[in-house]
A and B are shown apart, each in its own frame.
Chain A
């Protein structure tokens, strides 16, 4: 591999270098995406900007309101081992442990997982149900879009020239919320999801069912996807057979999976419905008082 390397200490310096050479400079953290792309001749950066020296990117901070600010460069394995993640953001903690393998998780980050924008990215469905925001730094300063507006298509995001992700902001989850992440793949490690679903549920007296849900799916559309129609059905009534069928239908109608070497679209569509119901059941079992 033939490129120059820059190792800035600050976000501002990294942004300056990346913005000076649009198209020719690429950011790297663990290399599981970029180094593999370069080796396979899929991209030929002239300059690689190593983000691992930037302190700001490895900070994890309480936001004071029950939320959490996660530096975009904290290794996923470090995040997965943090007790506050397991306690308050369980869906994300489960998803991080489903990524690749231990050595891959020590060398990969939320910033990288999101910027690569694979429809199968494990971190995306839980971050969608947690309604995370993405802080982006670029030549024009910082901005903070919702993750739901961040993905534009397979491997396409709102990141412009010179922009990098600096933080992922998790707002406080609704009181009493419990979450889960289910990944369906051919093997348990080192594999991409064929279908994945994250669910977050919490008691809500105003919902007819007594519990409100957020659902999101991965690997079944050009981008990770929230499932609002299924969420509304779950809030509207008891989880009987009729509701279960309606949830399944709503999920199947929302997803737009592809056929590829790993699975057929029809199979992915049906499994998305199955996984969504399993995730809902799992959350209901863990909710205190066993609502519904």
Chain B
């Protein structure tokens, strides 16, 4: 038996029928076809499924969809505005901070939440803010470099 729920995804009000046991990740990927949010470990360990709920980074693979009823969810698809990449996306491109790209959506959302609350973080604060996002390609240095570059305003349009 499915249950009706509404939530705002990337600024758009969505009303959908969900299974009570469905996770937010499943609803985003399978019902709303927003496949930018990745299923990595599916156990809340790797951070690939990170999205923002009311501006706070949350792990969508362990969050039940019905728990975000009426809340505001932002995914990687909503980060660019009017066709222009977010300054974090610009910085990731310029610094070579993405390789295979699987962790990148989660990393970008964690970084966006960090900068929203702390516009000029220290390197240590960047590392702490991104500690929940595992990357198996880059060794993390370029990711941290890119977040610092974005915080300095490089790549601002």
**Residue ranges of A at the interface with B (Cβ–Cβ < 8 Å):** 1-5, 7, 28, 30-32, 35-36, 38-40, 48, 50, 52, 75, 77, 100-104, 106-107, 188-190
Contact = CB atoms under 8 A, between A and B. Distances in A.
Nearest to B131: A189
8 closest residue pairs by CB, A with B: A101-B132, A189-B131, A1-B21, A31-B62, A5-B20, A103-B57, A35-B62, A106-B56
Interface stretch (B43-51, B84-92, B96-104, B142-150): B43-51
A193 B58 CA distance: 22
Interface stretch (B6-14, B29-37, B63-71, B73-81): B63-71
Contacts of B64: 5, 28, 31, 35, 48, 50
B69 to A, nearest CB: 8
A188 B128 CA distance: 9
Contact of A100 (B21, B114, B129, B132): B132
Given A36-B43, A190-B131, 12 more contacts: A2-B19, A5-B66, A30-B62, A31-B63, A31-B67, A35-B61, A35-B62, A48-B21, A50-B64, A106-B53, A188-B131, A189-B128
A50 to B, nearest CB: 6
Contacts of A106: 53, 56-58
Contacts of B3: 5
B58 A36 contact: no
Contacts of B134: 190
A39 B62 CA distance: 9
A217 B75 CA distance: 40
A107 B58 contact: yes
Contacts, number: 91
Given A188-B131, A190-B131, A190-B132, A104 B67 contact: no
Nearest to A47: B20
Contacts of B45: 190
Contacts of A7: 66-67, 69
B131 A39 contact: no
A104 B63 contact: no
Given A35-B62, A107-B63, A102 B20 contact: no
A50 B23 CA distance: 13
Contact of A52 (B20, B43, B67, B128): B67
B135 interface: no
A39 B3 CA distance: 20
B21 A104 contact: no
